[in-house]
Amino acid sequence: RLGVDVGGYEDQGVENLRSKLLSHLCNSTTKAGTSLQIATATAVFGLLPFNLEALSQTESSLPACSSKSISDDAENLRKWISGLGEHQQNLLYAILGRTD
């Protein structure tokens, strides 16, 4: 969060970290356990300017202030969430609902 607080969501370091976490999340879900997946997703949401509810309710586009990088990362996260089972989605919503 320090990088976000200092440089903002579009800071190069924040973008790189978000990209690497999303890559790990999307490419290793079959190997990673639920706990690791949820922890990674929670970290990614800390690097995005909106929460899970906002991402879920925004079907077609994100707020105009979002950069292409943020929009692309949000879409990748949206796809990952849609691929989760119902139990995993409920768990993610329960955990992230407590951290917002």
In the structure, what pLDDT confidence band is assigned to residue 9 with cuts at 50, 70 and 90?
confident
Tens of pLDDT, residues 19-58: 999 998 888 756 668 888 889 999 999 889 888 888 877 6
C-alpha to C-alpha distance for 24 and 91, rounded to whole angstroms: 20
Crossing angle for the helix pair 68-82 and 34-45, to the nearest 10 degrees: 150
pTM: 0.81
For residue 5, pLDDT over 80 is answered with: no
In contact, 26 and 49? CB cutoff 8 Å: no
Tens of pLDDT, residues 25-36: 888 756 668 888
